[in-house]
Amino acid sequence: MAEARDREAADEPLPADPAERLRLVVLRVTQALGLQATVDVEDTDEELRAVVEGEDLGLLIGKHGATIDALQHLAVRIVLHGETDDRRIVVDAAGYRARRENALQREADRAVADALRYGRAVELEPMRAPERKVVHIYLRDRTDIETHSEGDEPERRLVVSPLRPTAKP
């Protein structure tokens, strides 16, 4: 009986409101994964952020965030399809995005310190495009280094280079 009700809910058209559409898309995926979770949407002028809370959300986050990134990509395609809305769509689970952003910023700070100390380019570990973007944005206002990406997916890396050699003899 519950399966029939779930199938009927899955067949219902998505709501016209982008925030409610985002909530429903993310909720359907969490339910399909068998997770007991709630989905709330924070609606601002800049972004729509779906926040998933519950137990054991590791399956939703996936290895190195691959699953939640894929869900976010899917949500962008579904929620903004046919819309003129240019807000960012973010899907987060159990605070993963903030934790990962902090880890990426610490990694970027270490790379900057090494690039400036040794006067040469420093490569970070391979990362997916959304993570490279976080680092590029984090470092973009610095005047002593520059960043660019090199390589092909999935081994594409962000490189931090000093603008002036600073190595001490």
Which DSSP string corresponds to the chain?
-HHHHHHHHHHSPPPSSHHHHHHHHHHHHHHHTT--EEEEEEE-SSEEEEEEEES-THHHH-GGGHHHHHHHHHHHHHHSTT-----EEEEEETTHHHHHHHHHHHHHHHHHHHHHHHTS-EEPPP--HHHHHHHHHHHTT-SSEEEEEES-TTS-EEEEEESS-----
Tokens of 63: 């290895």
Q: Taking 70 as the threshold, does the pLDDT of residue 133 lie above it?
A: yes
Give pLDDT, residue 14. 84
Give the C-alpha separation, 53 to 94, whole Å: 5
CATH of span 99-162: 3.30.1370.50
- pLDDT per residue as tens digits for the range 41-73: 999 999 999 999 999 999 999 998 999 999 999
Give pLDDT, residue 165. 57
CATH of span 2-94: 3.30.300.20
What residue type is 107 in one-letter code?
Answer: E
Give pLDDT, residue 167. 53
pTM of the model: 0.76
Q: CATH 3.30.300.20 spans which residues of the chain?
A: 2-94
- pLDDT per residue as tens digits for the range 12-36: 788 889 999 999 999 999 999 999 9
Q: Taking 80 as the threshold, does the pLDDT of residue 95 lie above it?
A: yes
Q: CATH 3.30.1370.50 spans which residues of the chain?
A: 99-162
